[in-house]
Chains A and B, each alone.
Chain A
Amino acid sequence: MKDFEIVIEGQKLFLHPLKGLFWEEKSLLIIGDLHFGKIQHFRNSGIGLPEIAIKKNLENLILILNYYEPKEVLFLGDLFHSRYNQEWEAFSIVIARFNSIKFTLLIGNHDTLESSIYEKANIKIVDDFLAIEPFIFTHEPQEIKLDLFQISGHIHPGVKLSGKGVGAIIIPCFYIQKRQAILPAFGYFTGLYRIKPKKGDLIYGIVNQEILEIKP
């Protein structure tokens, strides 16, 4: 799997097909909308999804952590889908193995676990936003007063592609506008929201484990 280099605000950023963004200068890996626990949440409610699918999320996380070996990881919210369940145990075992990395979570609308649970897993939590110049990180894209470039998640952007005589497909993407970037949802078993890009926007789609530059 190959990542894709872009430059924003003079900073080198790498887009990875596993749906993470790596900021080289700070050795910071940014991951949005993991929604861990979702499959288990469904199963616990009697909806029979294959349990093996849970492993996919964790495998992807391990893969991308090994790929960049970052000093810090920032989860852009919606780390855990719902109430506490056994998937958290598996997740915390995984991140405990990467104990040299500093993990931070920006609280998203799905993150309803008690703060002690994050603390126990050595995840620092942050409400609202986190500013590291020239960027500001938020869960939901929102109006900000500071003159910083906003990076967020929440909407699970997907872009619809179609071609003459071949039909159409919606694929996950990184969605970059003038003053903000929106990351695709990292988690397996999360849906897509179709964005409608405008001229001047930059779209990096993910298909067949590759980053594909799309010009509107």
Chain B
Amino acid sequence: MNFQPALTWFSSKKWKPQKFQLEAWKYYSQNFNGIVNAPTGTGKTFSLAIPPLLESLEKNELNPKGLKVIWITPIRALSKEIESSFNSAILGLGLNWTVGVRTGDTTSTERQKQKKNLPNVLITTPESLHILLATKNYSKNFKDLELFVADEWHELIGSKRAVQVELALSRLKSIAQNLNVWGISATIGNLDLAQDILLGPNSAKNSKIIKAGIKKKYEVVSILPDEIEKYPWAGHLGLKLLEKVLPIIEESESTLIFTNTRSQAEIWYQKLLEVSPELSGVLAMHHGSISRELRNWVEEALHESRLKAVVCTSSLDLGVDFRPVETIIQIGSPKGVARFMQRAGRSGHQPNAVSKIYFLPTNALELLEGAALRDAINNEIIEDRIPFLRSFDVLIQYLVTLAVADGFDQKQIYKEVKSTFSFSSINTDEWNWVLRFLTSGGDSLKAYDEYNRVEVVDGLFRVIDRRIARRHRLSIGTIVSDMIMKIKYARGGFIGTVEEYFISILKIGDIFWFSGRCLELVRIKDQVVEVRNAKNQKGKIPSWQGGRMPLSSQLSEVLRKKLTEASNQSSTDIELKTILPLLQRQQKSSLIPKENQFLIEKFNTNEGCHLYLYPFEGRAVHEGMASLIAYRISLFKPISFSIAFNDYGIELLSDQDIPIEAAIDSDIFSSEHLRDDIVASVNASEMARRRFRDIAAISGLIFKGFPHAEKKERHLQASSSLLFNVFTDFDKNNLLYKQAYEEVMEFQIEEGRMRNAFKRINSQEIKLIYPKNYTPFSFPLMVDRLREKLSTERIEDKIKKMKLVLD
């Protein structure tokens, strides 16, 4: 392929093609598939947008017909930027290609236009791609497809949207004979796997991972308390250091302040305005519950340097770059290296600029994580992305999609589905179950049934019922499905959305803070929360679930290394030096564990017998481990515990002496029989019930209704919890039901990680210490216990001892 036209266009723009771009063009021209590993803002779009254009130039097809390129982006906000990159390249190369965007925001007239005549380049999301697959005669639209790009692929992996991409690709590969598939990914720990997930297992042949090798420079600066002795040992807000943030905001053109939860963002936003009223008008807030319009306004204002600072959550992790942003502040540990780097990368866009990020610890011990984060970044220790495997909910949605369109031949589709990474292990029994589920609703008694979601007509699986087809088209895209409610002013005006959970704890007339406003709850109608501005300014802050991420496995490991350094006093990190008094106190009253040691503390207070264990594996793993260890101890003698955990350790509290000494002697940290013991100890059914909510929505078991739904449609609404009960009582072999448990094991209890943790503990020297009282390590756990509790006793067994909760 002749690169010259592109090189000429580049030089006319005074650009120089980068090595990775040239490499990508070369491999593309040799018909390779693969991954381009490059950070945002390095011209990654041109590495893959140019070659199909050059090819068309070579063939002298200046004005080709039909869809040539599908460009998947997980974030709608990025589609505009990609579109303009394409348009400038098309213009620069003297071509007449058309470029179109199709996302949830695309108007229906535009969609109708696209339906008749698809553009040459379609920029879209995984959900919108599936909607295209749900149209009649879809295959003719895709037969000339040459290139499929999954942009920000690292973001998609780790969500079910990646499974959507895999399934759509399996179809497209059969339709388009000359299709090349590429991903664009930031650096992650398991890039090779990322390629397999996109291209399918055994894809090594004719594939290539192209690394940009552009190393961004990061500088991590921890904000240190003046007197560490007075800085709290526990806490999650960090407001004591707020004064130290003000000069940082002052000195910088524009600052992003990242918090880990939306409630934390609300609190910081308010407190900043309280302490520094002159920020009013130039300080804004951005999080996932705030209305799209307001978020757009904030983003635009950031672009145009009209804002001094924005308090935000992961909602600003991704998206287009804001040039004026010079400084990033992270409040509290981000709990993962990749997330921290991503946020740091939102500043310093000039070439070779250093991305500077301030880390503000919310409690004294968290300073350790500041040191660990810097260490991890310097040594390029970055998290893996864990893919979803065997997501039968997505498979069922996909198959109905095909059935709605033209119907499918199950033999052909089985072959295609089995070629994906996610479903490479599916067997014919499971496949037949899925088909049966579609056609007869699972194991049918056949007595008097009218079940007819999918019917077999002339050997093809098809949806005939038009109502079912309509409902299905509307529900594609419900991959994310928190129960959310709209917040509106009673006199009109949309403010944002909030999880139903929060509203359920409010009463009419209650005051709460939302989106920086103090609001009074007027009434709840359908799915809308009506409010008015409150006169009184004292209100609750909504507590949003899901914001608090557990410590990643990679960061845990570096953290343990930092502890060893602290124990050996071999560290030069300023953070470790700062908390030296605290660490000395830990060492004196107990111990700072080295990498080959496992610390257990045991002591009595008037509350009872306390046992503290410190695996440093993150709260998610600790939750499961705590229940499991409690269960194993209870095998020695009947004993009941209350359980608490944080990212560093576990607390077991009992009114009796905890026989840990005997338990250690008989291997309570063994990794054998782990699955059985998890099932016996962890209340997995409650976790699975929560997981099932998404599964039920995606697979079409729950229908949320749509605008102007008829009354009979409303009779179809049921909570996922009710459905979960039905399967628990009658159909435990339902693959969707089983999937809920699999997801709990994989993503919540993190069985694999727990197993490794037990193996590690088993190889460590166990240090059982009897301190006189709370230590710096145990204190935060004691405080956390007051917030969240678990017990080893099942709720049904305890019910008679309970007292009725009254509001």
Binding site for B on A (CB under 8 A): 38-53, 56, 81-83, 85-86, 89-90, 110, 159-169, 171, 188-191, 196-198, 203, 207-208, 212, 214-216
Contacts and interface: CB of A to CB of B under 8 A. Distances in A.
B210 interface: no
B802 A166 contact: yes
Contacts of A212: 799-800
A53 B726 contact: yes
Contacts of B731: 50, 52
A4 to B, nearest CB: 15
B792 to A, nearest CB: 9
A188 B793 CA distance: 27
B443 A46 contact: no
Interface in B722-739: 722-723, 725-727, 729-731, 734
Contacts of B790: 165, 167
B703 A162 contact: no
A50 B804 contact: no
Given A86-B450, A161-B805, A214-B804, A49 B441 contact: yes
A169 B799 contact: yes
B800 to A, nearest CB: 7
Interface in B685-719: 686, 700-701, 703, 712, 715-716, 718-719
A139 B50 CA distance: 69
A207 B712 contact: no
A49 B793 CA distance: 31
B693 to A, nearest CB: 14
B718 A43 contact: no
Contacts of A191: 718-719, 722
A56 B726 CA distance: 10
B15 interface: no
Given A47-B701, A163-B802, A197-B804, A189 B726 contact: yes
B789 interface: yes
A188 B723 CA distance: 11
Interface string B778-807: 000000000001110101101111111111
A46 to B, nearest CB: 3
A174 B453 CA distance: 38
Top 6 closest A-B pairs, CB basis? A46-B453, A163-B802, A48-B441, A86-B448, A50-B731, A165-B642
Contact of A50 (B442, B450, B471): B442
A160 B726 contact: no
A53 B804 contact: no
A38 B471 CA distance: 19
A53 B729 contact: yes
Given A166-B798, A212-B800, A47 B716 contact: yes
Interface residues of B, number: 54
A86 B449 contact: yes
B32 interface: no
Given A45-B468, A46-B453, A86-B450, A189 B722 contact: yes
B445 interface: yes
B788 to A, nearest CB: 10
Given A48-B437, A52-B730, A214-B804, A166 B791 contact: yes
Contacts of B725: 189
A162 B795 CA distance: 9
Contact of A162 (B450, B726, B800, B802): B802
A81 B734 CA distance: 25
A81 to B, nearest CB: 6
Given A44-B451, A161-B804, A51 B716 contact: no
24 contacts: A38-B715, A39-B726, A43-B451, A45-B471, A47-B716, A48-B437, A49-B726, A50-B727, A52-B731, A53-B726, A81-B715, A85-B450, A160-B805, A161-B803, A161-B804, A161-B805, A165-B789, A167-B686, A169-B796, A196-B806, A197-B804, A203-B804, A208-B796, A214-B804
A49 B734 CA distance: 10
B715 A41 contact: yes
B712 A51 contact: no
B727 A47 contact: no
B802 A42 contact: no
Contact of B701 (A41, A48, A214): A48
A160 to B, nearest CB: 5
B444 A51 contact: yes
Given A50-B727, A52-B731, A166-B791, A189 B718 contact: yes
A45 B716 contact: yes
B310 to A, nearest CB: 37
B274 interface: no
A49 B723 contact: yes
B435 to A, nearest CB: 12
Contacts of B727: 50
Given A166-B791, A208-B796, 4 more contacts: A38-B715, A190-B722, A196-B807, A212-B800
B795 to A, nearest CB: 5
Contacts of A214: 804
A145 to B, nearest CB: 28
Contact of A82 (B437, B454, B712): B712
B452 interface: yes
A210 to B, nearest CB: 9
A162 B805 contact: yes
Interface in B349-364: none
Contacts of A203: 804
A55 B614 CA distance: 51
Given A43-B441, A43-B450, A163 B803 contact: yes
Tell me which of A45, A82, A203 has the highest count of chain B C-beta atoms within 10 A of its own C-beta: A45
Contact of B791 (A48, A49, A161, A165): A165
Contacts of B452: 44, 46
Contacts of B712: 82-83
Interface in B165-211: none
Nearest to A85: B450
A44 B465 CA distance: 10
Contacts of B437: 48
Contacts of B798: 163, 166
Contact of B795 (A50, A169, A188, A189): A169
Interface in B444-495: 444-445, 447-454, 465, 467-468, 471
Contacts of B700: 46-47
A207 B718 contact: no
A209 B697 CA distance: 31
Contacts of A171: 799
Contacts of A159: 804
A73 B407 CA distance: 49
A51 B445 contact: yes
Contact of B453 (A48, A89, A196, A215): A48
B451 A46 contact: yes
A172 B795 CA distance: 15
Tell me which of A160, A167, A189 has the highest count of chain B C-beta atoms within 10 A of its own C-beta: A167
A164 B798 CA distance: 10
B802 A161 contact: yes
Nearest to B437: A48
Nearest to B469: A46
Contacts of A190: 722
Nearest to B442: A48
A207 B796 contact: yes
Contacts of B468: 45-46
Given A161-B804, A163-B803, A207-B799, A47 B719 contact: no
B795 A167 contact: yes
Contact of A166 (B734, B793, B807): B793
Contacts of B642: 164-165
Contacts of B718: 42, 189, 191
A86 B800 CA distance: 40
Contacts of A90: 448
